[in-house]
Homo-oligomer: A and B are copies of this chain.
């Protein structure tokens, strides 16, 4: 593995779509520029917020190619490989490597019910196949398996992974993990939260992967910089502004899934801000209705973004 280390604000790059549900190249380029102009430290292509699992191999390749070309090496990139099982992840990983990403993001298996041991085998086979830095993505709400402290330790010791992105919501465990790795400067811990980034940084996390960072990258960068400077009052103030902004994800009508409500909120905001042309999500998710759009607009104005 290269000595690539992840830190700072690394947003999961939203994937803008056309009205017929294809990758919207022009909007995607605009999003990438918006993020880099906002000062982010890296790009996480094809994350959950990017609607990764909705895209087929060809669409995923498009996203990677366009984003990397637009980023032009200004910041490092990692790329999600999400699919249910090992060899299918390897196919995704090989494509992403061939297209030039700097690192990969890998979850445990899903749909199939897996174990900690099988997860270690899974990562081992993927690392063997691609030989690229791997960030373990701990998202049990999607995979039904929480990566244990022991599993993460063993994968690091066997040089299978160089970082973890913790989207488990279990911040107590993440903090104990941080102490487990306090003597390993080449291991990064990134929080997947939008709302407690200052907490994670206070506890020693190396960075953050905020979906909301698509809407307000500069805000998250300010928060990160304040924390790095030890100005926790400023960090907290910025975080609280971002929490208020984050309420855009709760505007879905009843019977909308958290996924459609959340990505729907982000896309609606970015459309209102002129960053993407359409707010369509991959099928079957429906665009937020007008009342929700009005609510999102209100929140954007309050946050100083419109």
Binding site for B on A (CB under 8 A): 21, 48, 53-54, 56, 82-88, 91, 109-118, 121-122, 124-125, 141-144, 169-172, 175-176, 179, 193, 195-196, 198-199, 202-204, 230, 232-233, 236, 240, 243-244, 255-260, 282-286
Q: Which 8 A-B pairs have the closest CB atoms?
A: A121-B284, A199-B199, A53-B84, A115-B257, A117-B255, A54-B85, A232-B232, A86-B283
A21 CB contacts on chain B under 8 angstroms: 87
A203 CB contacts on chain B under 8 angstroms: 196, 198-199, 236
A40 to chain B, nearest CB (A): 22
Please state if B141 and A113 are interface contacts (CB–CB under 8 Å).
Answer: yes
Please state if B54 and A87 are interface contacts (CB–CB under 8 Å).
Answer: yes
A192 to chain B, nearest CB (A): 11
A109 CB contacts on chain B under 8 angstroms: 284
Please state if A88 and B56 are interface contacts (CB–CB under 8 Å).
Answer: yes
A112 CB contacts on chain B under 8 angstroms: 48, 53-54, 142, 257, 259
A144 CB contacts on chain B under 8 angstroms: 144
Question: Can you pick out 11 interface pairs between chain A and chain B where the beta carbons lie within 8 Å of each other?
Answer: A54-B84, A54-B85, A56-B87, A82-B84, A84-B84, A113-B259, A169-B172, A176-B195, A198-B203, A230-B233, A232-B232
Please state if A243 and B176 are interface contacts (CB–CB under 8 Å).
Answer: yes
B111, B230, B244: the one contacting A110 at CB < 8 Å is: B111
A116 CB contacts on chain B under 8 angstroms: 255
